[in-house]
Structure 1
Amino acid sequence: MLKWKIYIFLGGALSTFSLDLFAENLRFGDAHSDFGEVTISGWLRANIMDKDYTDDREHNLKFDAAKLAIKYEAKNIFGALEYRCYQFNTLCDFSSLVDANLGYKLSEDNTITFGIQEIPFGPGRGWSTSWFGGMVINAGLEDVHNLGIRYSSNINSTTKFDGAFFTRDAGNYTGKSLDSAHYSANYVKPDQKNQPYVKEKNMLLARLIKEIPLSNQPDLNLKLGSSYWYSDIENKYDSQTGHRNAWSAFSKINYKNANVTLTLGRNKVTHLDSLGRDYAVVGSFDSSYNLANEASFYTFDVNYPMKDVLYGWSLTPYLTYSALQKQPREFERSNRNIFGIQADKGHFSVAAEYLLSKNDPFIGGNANSFAQGDDLGWRGLLNILLFYNF
């Protein structure tokens, strides 16, 4: 316990001293000028984990990750760059580019963006409040960033449309795996021999989000939306091409401080596997695993922010449930439940999350958890996160 207190005190003191000096230069320029404005932000993160499925409970405070984000905004042009560094065993043994794009404002309500960017599928970049995220992220349908072009339009004050074409994934970066050292979950070259090897290309996506006016309920806000994803799936062993067809429907409800997001949909992939296997290999965060070709997916998230609860700290409790109902029937359902709370004050944040999961490759499962299943039962993980935000 004394060791933890020393690490927390020294880490907080050093980061406060150095980054507060740096914070004065995080924003410069004028977004309304031709030269534009540059904004630098990010965070440093440490964590402590407790896993009920391993003898190594990892009761040590350690550096976990860092994020650097640079945004550019000018009168007619905008852009974004984001890079992440993670520590599994050594500092930045996995790191990845997340975004690198440049856009042009066709008008006040219409933009076009080129480069590595978030795909317009589902209600937004993240469908949950949790830092660990729901399992649809690991299934490659949420928080996906690929290389392509995107058109965005505010059709009117309550309706937004996105249409996009992505040529491929965002590439492979620093890590130990053959092809899985990237932030987003994409189809990859397998780390194990004799597994399906497919790659996704020529992705077409469309999304429509509509705000529903509720004049008789001024404290209630409702948004409804849907999105569609079609692409080519190339079998690298025999050069045959299958396809992805995926759709999602979602709602976002806000009532005073309460926020609820519900997302559901279906993903179906054909990759013409010569052995008739009902899965392909997906990779992210420097590891690869099998994913069922066909599944319905669900994410439910609720949070309730409370400002200035105690000594200037704000608190946000949250709950996330996500699931994959896979086909064929003998493929076992995957579930992930997350119970969390976050406290924020100034530059600092502390979050605690307890995850209870079944058939989950990231929580005590194995490479088959998102396909046939792993028969290992429910697994639990406690994750405590400490942030310095700048």
Structure 2
Amino acid sequence: MRKTFFKIGFGLLSCGMILPTFAGVTFGDPQSELGAWTISGAVRANYQDKHYGESVSDQKIKFDAAILRLGYESPDWFGQAEYRCYQYDTFCDFSTLVSGYVGYRLNPTDNITVGLQAIPFGPGRYWDSSFYAGINNTMGLQDALDLGLNYHFEMPTATKVDLAYFATDGGNYHGTSKDAARYTANVVSSSDPLKTDLNEKNMWMARVDQELKFLTTDDFKVSLGGSYWYSEIENEKASADGTRNAWALFNRINYKNLNVVLTAGKQSIHNKDALSPHSSTFGSFDGEYDIANKGYFYTLDTNYVFKNVRDSLNVTPYMVFSGFNKKEQGFDDSQRNIFGVAFDYKNVTLYTEYLMSKNDPFVGGTTTSLAAGDDGKWNKFLNVMLVYSF
């Protein structure tokens, strides 16, 4: 009997270029020596209609999440902390710290940040415009936050560089799972004794993002970049350390209101596990699933922003194609494609998107979907998310 992995679908606070506005309440002046504190947040409700070949549709509007954010800004210092509370069955049955960092500006373009923060891998924290996010988010490659230090600097040649060290992942918080109550997908200590028991540490990362000034006009901008990730994978069962090596290349093209971002790369994990040498157990959003250790990943994102359609209403249609092509023989490739429209009006954002996915643990799949695969059928569902930001 085919078993659907997750009880409900879920997404991120927004991925890519369509970001809800956090108005917030500010105390103080960010230009003063004492700086300013801002409290902001969001509440979300969603509707989902799933077509998985079985009766799994929610088909009702339900509370999704509450988000609280605290920010600090001064001429030299900045910082942020964010906590989220989700509802699967009951209010806050899964909650997690998303970020918590402090930074110091060395000059207007260069800074150092310390704490739980986005990793400098790929074109940015978000690789695409959708709410649900491409499959590389489920793999822990995009919208990933870990605990460490990042040095960002920019050169006169329109080159942006990040050099980072992360001691460990973002940690496990409140949920029902053993080690998967976390926002970012990381290797975890599985509740299943037959699966892997891993911990990632000593993550070294570098990213270079180059704007191609010789192609730049008032309406047209192009940039190219690359990033690299090396870390140690601690195998608790074997008392040995493996490694993760990953790289990603990316290209941004912007013409007026049209945006295209292509990201592609390779991941290779050596987990030192005799029972499971070809896959590793990851966890996020209070659920565990396996991911193939070696393969190529990609995301192609396209969106067009219709600004001020009426009053302050912006309308953004988008398409996202993402996948993971696995190197292990007999492992089926995974894909997640998203077609959607975002409506942004003042403090309210409405995402309406249709997902088509196969071998995907978050869209009608199983815990093995991102490793060996499942039945390989295309699963589809309509995801509607309403976000009110304050």
TM-score between both structures, scaled by the size of structure 1: 0.91
Matches within 5 A, 1:152-301: 152-156=152-156, 158-214=158-214, 217-275=217-275, 277-301=277-301
Equivalent in the alignment of 2:35: 36
My pick for the range that moved more, 60-69 or 32-41, is 32-41
Answering whether residue 343 of structure 2 is matched by residue 343 of structure 1, we say yes
Q: CA RMSD in A?
A: 1.5
Q: Which amino acid aligns with 1:292?
A: A
Provide Cα deviations, 1:139-176, integer angstroms capped at 9, x if missing partner.
Answer: 11111111111111112261111001101111111110
Per the TM alignment, residue 276 of structure 1 is displaced from its structure 2 partner at its CA by: 5.2
Measure, in 2, the Cα distance between the counterparts of 1:216 and 1:198.
45
Per the TM alignment, residue 183 of structure 1 is displaced from its structure 2 partner at its CA by: 0.3
Provide Cα deviations, 1:26-60, integer angstroms capped at 9, x if missing partner.
Answer: 12222222211222332211001011113131111
Answering whether residue 381 of structure 2 is matched by residue 381 of structure 1, we say yes
Q: Report if the CA contact (8 A) 2:148-2:167 is conserved.
A: yes
Measure, in 2, the Cα distance between the counterparts of 1:73 and 1:300.
34
Q: Which has the higher helix share?
A: 1
Measure, in 2, the Cα distance between the counterparts of 1:71 and 1:102.
10
Q: Report if the CA contact (8 A) 1:200-1:232 is conserved.
A: yes
- DSSP-derived class of the 1:229 partner: strand
Equivalent in the alignment of 2:71: 71
Equivalent in the alignment of 2:126: 126
Q: Which amino acid aligns with 1:34?
A: E
Per the TM alignment, residue 371 of structure 1 is displaced from its structure 2 partner at its CA by: 0.3
Provide Cα deviations, 1:195-249, integer angstroms capped at 9, x if missing partner.
Answer: 1111110000000111111467431101111000000011110111111110000
Per the TM alignment, residue 307 of structure 1 is displaced from its structure 2 partner at its CA by: 1.6
Q: Report if the CA contact (8 A) 2:216-2:222 is conserved.
A: no
Provide Cα deviations, 1:272-318, integer angstroms capped at 9, x if missing partner.
Answer: 11235300100000000001100100000011110222465321000
Measure, in 1, the Cα distance between the counterparts of 2:144 and 2:309.
35
Equivalent in the alignment of 1:46: 45
Equivalent in the alignment of 2:17: none
Equivalent in the alignment of 1:368: 368
Q: Which amino acid aligns with 2:119?
A: I
- DSSP-derived class of the 1:107 partner: coil
Equivalent in the alignment of 2:26: 27
Measure, in 1, the Cα distance between the counterparts of 2:156 and 2:34.
29
Answering whether residue 102 of structure 2 is matched by residue 102 of structure 1, we say yes
Per the TM alignment, residue 86 of structure 1 is displaced from its structure 2 partner at its CA by: 1.1
- Change in CA separation of 1:216 and 1:259 when aligned onto 2, cut-off 3 Å: closer
Q: Which amino acid aligns with 2:351?
A: A
Answering whether residue 145 of structure 2 is matched by residue 141 of structure 1, we say no
Structure 2 gap ranges (5+): 1-21
Provide Cα deviations, 1:307-355, integer angstroms capped at 9, x if missing partner.
Answer: 2224653210000010000121311000001000011211112111100
Per the TM alignment, residue 106 of structure 1 is displaced from its structure 2 partner at its CA by: 2.3
Provide Cα deviations, 1:40-93, integer angstroms capped at 9, x if missing partner.
Answer: 332211001011113131111111112222221112211111111111111111
Count of matched residue positions in the alignment of Structure 1 and Structure 2: 368
My pick for the range that moved more, 255-264 or 374-383, is 374-383
My pick for the range that moved more, 181-190 or 216-225, is 216-225
- DSSP-derived class of the 2:161 partner: strand
Give the share of equivalent positions with the same residue, in percent. Answer: 45
